[in-house]
A and B are shown apart, each in its own frame.
Chain A
Amino acid sequence: EVQLVESGGGLVQPGGSLRLSCAASGFPFSSYWMSWVRQFPGKGLEWVANIKQDGSEKYYVDSVEGRFTVSRDNAKNSLYLQMNSLRAEDTAVYYCARGANYHDASAYFWGQGTLVTVSS
């Protein structure tokens, strides 16, 4: 059974940092693009970033470029999102997601999410 389990969310002050993790199981992690997608309190969805199988390509939405870094450890079947210089508008549920197949860089299968709250 495919599983994606996010962790690392919590309350952080503006300007602070947080590192999210996603533990993958039930599929060959190193064969899939992986993504982060967030859902704002008003329920809107925003794709945040993705990373190629070997980590050689990474892409970000403009609103997080330069502040967030996506990475992966294929030996540990894990995906990460390092979030720096956090702002109130980064408050959201962050989902880890997998592509549908080797060539699919989009978010097909999603985890249950972890809540990040940026507030003083």
Chain B
Amino acid sequence: DVVMTQSPLSLPVTLGQPASISCRSSQSLVHGDGNTYLNWFQQRPGQSPRRLIYQVSNRDSGVPDRFSGSGSGTDFTLKISRVEAEDVGVYYCTQGTHWPPYTFGQGTKLEIK
């Protein structure tokens, strides 16, 4: 199975400042069809996970443009350009290239300093 490793696991950020989360996979996530199936989810306190980014860098509908995804191969990054209070929660990367199973990172808890 593909192991997804996130860092940091805890991310205290000042409001209005940028934030960055790293995700590394144990093998390349480039699929045979040429796409890279790396997604990012946000889980706010008390809510179920919501997808933010799919295929590395595509924002889902309704996701603010302060969220961006980048990366290739085995190294990926989620960036928030200016953190707002509503961004507090846990962020997970997940891969869908080598399934089954789909696998998730451990999660990164973003909090306001």
Which residues on A are within 8 Å of B, measured CB to CB? Answer: 43-47, 50, 59-62, 95, 100, 105-113
In the complex, the answer to whether A113 meets B103 with C-beta atoms within 8 Å is no
In the complex, the answer to whether A110 meets B48 with C-beta atoms within 8 Å is yes
Of B18-26, B65-73, B76-84, B94-102, the segment with at least 4 beta carbons within 8 Å of chain A is B94-102
Contacts of B37 in A (CB 8 A): 106
B90 to chain A: closest residue by CB: A43
User: Considering the chains assembled together, what is the distance between the CA atoms of A43 and B92 in angstroms?
Assistant: 11
Is B74 part of the contact surface with A, judged by Cβ < 8 Å? Answer: no
Which residues on B are within 8 Å of A, measured CB to CB? Answer: 1, 37, 39, 48-51, 54, 90, 92, 94, 96, 99-104, 106-107
Residue with the greatest number of chain A CB neighbours at <10 A, chosen from B90, B102, B104: B102
Known: A61-B100, A100-B54, A106-B39. 20 other contacts (CB 8 A): A43-B90, A43-B107, A44-B106, A44-B107, A45-B94, A47-B100, A47-B102, A50-B100, A60-B100, A60-B101, A61-B101, A62-B101, A105-B96, A106-B37, A106-B102, A107-B102, A110-B48, A110-B49, A110-B50, A111-B48
B95 to chain A: closest residue by CB: A106
In the complex, the answer to whether A113 meets B99 with C-beta atoms within 8 Å is no
Choose one: A47, A110, A112; the contact of B101 (CB below 8 Å).
A47
Q: A43-B90, A45-B92 are in contact. Are A108 and B51 (CB under 8 A)?
A: yes
Choose one: A47, A50, A110; the contact of B104 (CB below 8 Å).
A47
